[in-house]
Amino acid sequence: MNKLYYCKDEGQFYLVKQTPKTIKIDWITKFNCDSEKTELDQKVKWKNLVVKKDNSNKHCLKKNNETGILIYPFQAGLPFYLEPATIKDIDKEIADCKKWGVSSKYYENLKQYVLPLDKQKSVA
Protein backbone atom coordinates (compact mmCIF):
# COMPACT_ATOMS: atom_id res chain seq x y z
CA MET A 1 0.00 0.00 0.00
CA ASN A 2 1.26 3.46 -0.90
CA LYS A 3 1.34 6.14 1.77
CA LEU A 4 1.60 9.88 1.24
CA TYR A 5 4.66 11.60 2.70
CA TYR A 6 5.70 15.26 2.74
CA CYS A 7 9.16 16.81 2.49
CA LYS A 8 8.99 20.17 4.29
CA ASP A 9 12.40 21.23 2.94
CA GLU A 10 11.08 21.04 -0.62
CA GLY A 11 7.36 21.49 -0.05
CA GLN A 12 6.81 18.35 -2.14
CA PHE A 13 4.65 15.25 -1.71
CA TYR A 14 5.80 11.68 -2.34
CA LEU A 15 4.14 8.28 -2.45
CA VAL A 16 6.06 5.68 -0.47
CA LYS A 17 5.67 1.94 -0.87
CA GLN A 18 7.40 -0.33 1.63
CA THR A 19 8.14 -4.00 1.16
CA PRO A 20 9.95 -6.22 3.67
CA LYS A 21 13.28 -5.39 2.00
CA THR A 22 12.91 -2.00 0.27
CA ILE A 23 11.38 1.44 0.40
CA LYS A 24 10.32 2.90 -2.95
CA ILE A 25 9.76 6.66 -3.03
CA ASP A 26 8.05 8.36 -5.99
CA TRP A 27 7.50 12.08 -6.40
CA ILE A 28 3.89 12.88 -7.29
CA THR A 29 4.33 14.65 -10.60
CA LYS A 30 2.85 18.11 -11.06
CA PHE A 31 1.48 18.94 -14.49
CA ASN A 32 0.78 22.22 -16.23
CA CYS A 33 -2.83 23.25 -15.47
CA ASP A 34 -3.80 23.44 -19.14
CA SER A 35 -2.24 20.09 -20.08
CA GLU A 36 -2.13 16.75 -18.29
CA LYS A 37 0.89 15.88 -20.46
CA THR A 38 3.28 18.74 -19.68
CA GLU A 39 5.22 18.04 -16.50
CA LEU A 40 6.22 21.09 -14.50
CA ASP A 41 9.91 21.28 -13.70
CA GLN A 42 9.92 21.59 -9.91
CA LYS A 43 13.64 20.89 -9.52
CA VAL A 44 12.91 18.15 -6.99
CA LYS A 45 15.92 16.35 -5.59
CA TRP A 46 14.51 12.86 -6.07
CA LYS A 47 11.78 11.92 -8.53
CA ASN A 48 12.28 8.22 -7.82
CA LEU A 49 14.38 6.62 -5.11
CA VAL A 50 14.70 2.99 -4.03
CA VAL A 51 16.40 2.24 -0.72
CA LYS A 52 17.20 -1.19 0.66
CA LYS A 53 16.33 -1.50 4.33
CA ASP A 54 19.55 -3.43 5.06
CA ASN A 55 21.64 -0.53 3.64
CA SER A 56 23.28 -2.82 1.08
CA ASN A 57 23.02 -0.32 -1.77
CA LYS A 58 24.18 3.21 -2.52
CA HIS A 59 21.64 4.93 -0.23
CA CYS A 60 21.72 4.82 3.59
CA LEU A 61 18.49 4.46 5.57
CA LYS A 62 18.93 6.07 9.00
CA LYS A 63 15.35 6.17 10.27
CA ASN A 64 12.13 4.43 9.28
CA ASN A 65 9.26 4.60 11.73
CA GLU A 66 5.80 6.13 12.12
CA THR A 67 7.24 9.66 12.51
CA GLY A 68 9.23 9.67 9.29
CA ILE A 69 11.88 8.34 6.95
CA LEU A 70 15.44 9.69 6.94
CA ILE A 71 17.74 8.76 4.07
CA TYR A 72 21.26 9.82 3.18
CA PRO A 73 21.34 9.51 -0.61
CA PHE A 74 24.67 8.09 -1.76
CA GLN A 75 25.46 7.57 1.98
CA ALA A 76 26.63 11.16 2.47
CA GLY A 77 25.69 14.80 2.02
CA LEU A 78 22.36 16.37 2.77
CA PRO A 79 19.74 14.08 4.30
CA PHE A 80 16.37 13.53 2.66
CA TYR A 81 13.64 13.56 5.32
CA LEU A 82 10.01 12.64 4.74
CA GLU A 83 7.22 12.64 7.28
CA PRO A 84 3.68 11.31 6.90
CA ALA A 85 1.56 13.94 5.17
CA THR A 86 -1.38 15.45 7.02
CA ILE A 87 -4.43 17.43 5.96
CA LYS A 88 -2.68 20.42 7.57
CA ASP A 89 0.27 20.07 5.14
CA ILE A 90 -2.07 19.92 2.15
CA ASP A 91 -4.19 22.84 3.40
CA LYS A 92 -1.03 24.95 3.79
CA GLU A 93 -0.12 24.32 0.15
CA ILE A 94 -3.71 25.10 -0.95
CA ALA A 95 -3.57 28.40 0.97
CA ASP A 96 -0.32 29.26 -0.84
CA CYS A 97 -1.97 28.50 -4.19
CA LYS A 98 -4.86 30.82 -3.37
CA LYS A 99 -2.43 33.51 -2.23
CA TRP A 100 -0.65 33.36 -5.61
CA GLY A 101 -3.85 32.91 -7.64
CA VAL A 102 -2.96 29.51 -9.08
CA SER A 103 -4.90 26.25 -9.28
CA SER A 104 -4.97 24.09 -6.16
CA LYS A 105 -6.36 21.03 -8.01
CA TYR A 106 -3.10 19.08 -7.54
CA TYR A 107 -3.30 19.45 -3.74
CA GLU A 108 -7.07 18.84 -3.61
CA ASN A 109 -6.43 15.50 -5.36
CA LEU A 110 -3.84 14.54 -2.70
CA LYS A 111 -6.45 14.61 0.07
CA GLN A 112 -7.61 11.13 -0.98
CA TYR A 113 -4.34 9.70 0.38
CA VAL A 114 -4.60 11.26 3.85
CA LEU A 115 -6.80 10.11 6.70
CA PRO A 116 -8.66 12.73 8.74
CA LEU A 117 -6.52 14.06 11.61
CA ASP A 118 -8.70 12.42 14.27
CA LYS A 119 -8.03 8.96 12.75
CA GLN A 120 -4.29 9.34 12.12
CA LYS A 121 -3.29 8.68 15.72
CA SER A 122 -5.01 5.30 15.76
CA VAL A 123 -3.00 4.04 12.75
CA ALA A 124 0.39 2.51 13.57
For residues 90 and 84, is the Cβ–Cβ distance under 8 A? Answer: no
Give the chain's mean pLDDT.
83
Range name among 25-29, 65-69, 92-96 with the lowest pLDDT average? 25-29
pLDDT at 122 over 50: no
Q: What is the pLDDT of residue 120?
A: 46
Query: What confidence tens digit (pLDDT) does each residue in 15-56 have?
Result: 999 999 999 999 888 776 655 666 666 666 778 889 999 988
CA distance 8 to 14: 11
Q: What is the pLDDT of residue 121?
A: 43
For 27-31, which contacts have Cβ atoms below 8 Å and span 24 or more sequence positions? 28/4, 28/110, 30/106, 31/106
Q: Report CA 45 to chain centroid distance, whole Å.
A: 12
Strand bridging mode 48-52 / 60-65: unpaired
C-alpha dihedral sign at 49, 106, 38, 45: negative
What mean pLDDT is predicted for residues 98-109?
88
Q: What is the pLDDT of residue 105?
A: 87
